[in-house]
């Protein structure tokens, strides 16, 4: 606050009024740090910032929100045109960026109502001495006392444009934790919920075939999660159908198929978010390692429970957008 008073020349009361208004618009983050000192931080336009917070609350279709959606649509279109016009120069550079999100796998098989088999790859187990992030959404939820639930901003953004999600009617699927939960709930972007409700929402997300993606402060997975999204393929801004730049994801899992159980039904191909699954010449399911983010959605829906998840060291998956 003292820095703002010095740089702006405005009294504290007026600064607080302006900051409160900007926070409610998703432009500024205003929460106390660990020492109790109020910190004001300008948010980015997206990943994670103004775009996400403006479409995270209840969907209100009015002229203001239509205009905001139109402005972001123009921005994303211009970014897409810029990337495509300079594809050969930009994409190789962006393919080296750090991971933006982390996959937390689904580890229950729906048709047979039994666990998905987990295979530990001893050769791939990490030897790095540090805290291993939660690999189950249940573990992730239980470690937080402050949990807020908001709407999926990507699906709301599509709703605003008249192109609703093809995969699910679920909208309240975006979680924030700790300081982020306090911020989003105070601004009306979300509501505080109990752990049992959070687990029920996550279960519904799994049944809808959504992918759990966790976000960490400054994309540092050694730090506690700030949020978790439950993503579809058709709306997600970090999904293969909408990406402007390469997907950059970190995962500890990859799928593997038991040929004795696989019947070549193609369910995994239908459900795969990254188009990693396919059938080989023998009509057995396979996956492209370079595209598999280890989400477990294929294993969750496999009618034969023929797909296991191999757990190993952290693996970064980068998938470039198609060249148009």
pLDDT tens, residue by residue, 269-317: 999 999 999 999 999 999 999 999 999 999 999 999 999 999 988 999 9
Please give the C-alpha separations between residue 57 and each of 14, 26, 50, 149, 191, in angstroms, as whole numbers. 26, 11, 12, 10, 9
* 305 within some domain: yes
Distance CA 247, CA 291 (A): 10
Write down the number of H helices and E strands in the chain.
11, 15
Report pTM: 0.92
Distance CA 247, CA 94 (A): 9
**What share of the chain in percent tops pLDDT 90?**
77
Of residues 47 and 55, which shows the higher confidence score? 55
Q: Give me the pLDDT at residue 218, please.
A: 86
* 36 within some domain: no
Q: How many domains does the chain have?
A: 1
Q: Give me the pLDDT at residue 130, please.
A: 45
* 33 within some domain: no
Residue span of the structural domain in which 255 resides: 44-319
Please give the C-alpha separations between residue 236 and each of 10, 14, 52, 176, 254, in angstroms, as whole numbers. 41, 38, 11, 17, 21
* 105 within some domain: yes
* 8 within some domain: no
Q: Give me the pLDDT at residue 219, please.
A: 85
What are 101-150's pLDDT values in tens digits?
999 999 999 999 999 999 988 665 444 444 567 789 999 999 999 999 99
CB 218 within 8 A of CB 110: no
Question: β-pairing, 101-104 with 38-42?
Answer: unpaired
* 10 within some domain: no
* 13 within some domain: no
Q: Which residues contact 275 (CB under 8 A, 6 or more apart)?
A: 240, 291
* 3 within some domain: no
Pull the structure tokens for residue 315.
């693996």
* Confidence label for 173 from pLDDT (cuts 50, 70 and 90): very high
């Amino acid at each position: 606050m003292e820095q703002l008073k010095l740089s702006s020349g405005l009294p504290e009361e007026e600064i607080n009024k302006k900051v409160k208004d900007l926070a409610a618009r998703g432009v500024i983050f205003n929460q106390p740090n660990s020492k109790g000192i109020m910190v004001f931080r300008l948010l980015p336009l997206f990943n994670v910032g103004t775009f996400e917070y403006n479409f995270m609350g209840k969907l209100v279709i009015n002229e203001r929100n239509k205009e905001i959606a139109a402005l972001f649509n123009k921005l994303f279109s211009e970014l897409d045109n810029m990337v495509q016009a300079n594809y050969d120069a930009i994409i190789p550079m962006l393919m080296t960026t750090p991971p933006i999100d982390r996959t937390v796998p689904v580890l229950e098989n729906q048709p047979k109502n039994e666990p998905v088999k987990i295979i530990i790859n001893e050769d791939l187990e990490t030897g790095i001495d540090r805290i291993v992030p939660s690999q189950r959404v249940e573990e992730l939820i239980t470690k937080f006392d402050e949990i807020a639930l908001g709407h999926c901003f990507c699906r709301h953004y599509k709703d605003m444009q008249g192109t609703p999600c093809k995969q699910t009617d679920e909208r309240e699927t975006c979680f924030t934790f700790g300081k982020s939960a306090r911020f989003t709930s105070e601004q009306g972007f979300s509501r505080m919920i109990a752990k049992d409700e959070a687990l029920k929402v996550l279960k519904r997300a799994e049944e809808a075939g959504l992918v759990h993606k966790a976000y960490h402060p400054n994309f540092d997975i050694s730090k506690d999660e700030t949020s978790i999204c439950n993503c579809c393929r058709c709306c997600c801004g970090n999904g293969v159908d909408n990406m402007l730049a390469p997907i950059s994801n970190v995962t500890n899992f990859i799928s593997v198929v038991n040929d004795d159980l696989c019947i070549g039904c193609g369910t995994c191909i239908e459900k795969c978010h990254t188009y990693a699954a396919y059938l080989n010449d023998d009509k057995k399911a396979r996956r492209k390692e370079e595209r598999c983010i280890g989400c477990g959605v294929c294993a969750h829906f496999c009618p034969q429970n023929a797909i296991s998840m191999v757990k190993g060291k952290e693996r970064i998956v980068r998938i470039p957008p198609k060249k148009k």
